[in-house]
Amino acid sequence: MIERVDLAFSRDQQERIYVQHRLHAATSEVRAWVDRGAAIYVCGSLEGMAPAVEATLVDILGTAALQRMIGEGLCRRDVY
């Protein structure tokens, strides 16, 4: 079930807003969701978005927790 949607538009307004900005702004919620067993799916640009989102997730969750989620199939990427 999707409880929340945060939109990030990098080209539709003067200030560029990226996915990593939205994630960082929701740090406490992301941690709480992960603590309750949430899955994270990252879809988008391999060279542009994916590295920045991964760095933000490491900042929010820590490397060990993110690697655990990847190993358990709770964090998946579909990047191109």
- CB contact at 8 A, 42 and 77: yes
Q: What is the pLDDT of residue 13?
A: 77
- Does the pLDDT of residue 14 top 90, yes or no? no
What are the tens digits of pLDDT across the range 68-78? 999 999 999 99
pLDDT digits (tens, 9 = 90+) for 19-52: 999 999 999 999 999 999 999 999 989 998 999 9
Q: Which domains does the chain have, with CATH numbers?
A: 19-79 (3.40.50.80)
pLDDT value, residue 80: 93
Reference 59, options 48, 47, 51; nearest CA is: 51
